[in-house]
Amino acid sequence: MEEMQEIQGLFMTTETLKADIASLGVQPGMTVMMHSSMKALGGFVSGGAVAVILAVEERLGREGTLIMPTHTNDLSDPAHWRRPPVKEAWWQPIRDTMPAFAADLTPCYGMGAINEAFRKQNGVVRSNHPQVSFAAWGANKHSLTAEHSLGYSLGECTPLARLYEAEGSILLLGVGYNRNTTLHLAEYRASYKGKQETKNGAPFLVNGERQWVEFEDIEFESDDFNALGEAFERETGLVRNGKVGAADAKLMPVKELVDYAVKWMEFNRGV
C-alpha cells in the first residue's frame, strides 16, 4: 500500500497566525474586510479554516469587526452560465425550481473554505442578497449588513458603502487585487466610457414566498484590478505588506483605495 506523503512546510496555529496578522498592522477595534486563500498559507494549519478565523477575530477583539464576502453566483440566470453552460431547454425549469436564497442555509462554496466556515459561525450575520451577500462578526456587524439593495448590488446601498463610511480596512491574505470586491464600489462611482447596465435574476423570498426576481445592475469589470491595485500601492504608500504563514498579505484603507480607484478608472478605462 502506497504511503501518504508527509506534510511539509510551516506549522501554524491560531497564535502564530495572530502574531503574523498583528505584525502586518491589524489592530484591536479595526473594521476589516478579509479576502483569503487557505491554500496560500502553505504548510499545516492546526485547526484549518477555523484557526484562521479565530486568529483574526481574537486580534480584532470585542470592539472590532470582521466581514467577508459570501457570494453565491450560482443563484443566477442560467442563460448567462458559461462555466459550464446548460442546455436552453433547462433555463426556465431552473428559474422555476431553484431554491430561494436563505442567509442561514445557502452555502458559498465558491468563496473558499474560510468564508464558508465563517458564514456558519454562531453570532455571524449575513446580508440578504441572493448573489453577493456579505457575512460579518463583531461590534459593527449589524450596521454593515442591515441594508443591502437587490439592484446595484455592490453600490451605495450595500455593505461596501457602509464599510467605506466606517473607514474600514481591506486584508488580502494570499490573494491579489483581482479578488478585492471593494473595487467594485469604485465602478459605480466612476464615470468612464463603455460603462454598461445589465439585468440579473435570482430566486428570492418576497413576503415569505419564493419568486424569481429580476434587478438592474452594472456590468462589472475586474481585469484591470491588479494593475489598479499595484498603482495604488506604488503611488500612495498606504499598503502594508507582510507574511501570514507563507502567504503574501496586504493591509490597506478602504476609503483611500476607493477614492483613488474612481480617479484611476476615469483616467484609464475607455481610453
Name the stretches of the chain with pLDDT < 50: 1-2
- Rounded CA separation 135/66 (Å): 8
Query: What pLDDT was estimated at residue 2?
Result: 47
- Let me know: does 174 contact 249? Beta carbons within 8 Å: yes
**Whole-prediction pTM:** 0.94
Q: Residue 7 to residues 11, 90, 118: CA-CA distances in angstroms?
A: 9, 44, 25
Three cell numbers, residue 127: 446580508
Distance CA 244, CA 221 (A): 29
Residue 27 corresponds to which cell in the numbers above? 489592530
Going from N- to C-terminal start, the domains of the chain cover 11-71+103-192+222-268
pLDDT at 9: 74
Position 6 scores a pLDDT of 59
Predicted pLDDT at 1: 40
Q: Which DSSP string corresponds to 84-137?
A: S---GGGHHHHHHHSPPP-TTT---GGG-HHHHHHHTSTT-EE---SSS-EEEE
**Cβ-based burial of 186 (10 A; exposed 0-12, middle 13-18, buried ≥19):** buried
Contact indicator for 59, 21 with CB cutoff of 8 Å:
yes
- Can you spell out the DSSP letters for 237-256? ---EEEEETTEEEEEEEHHH
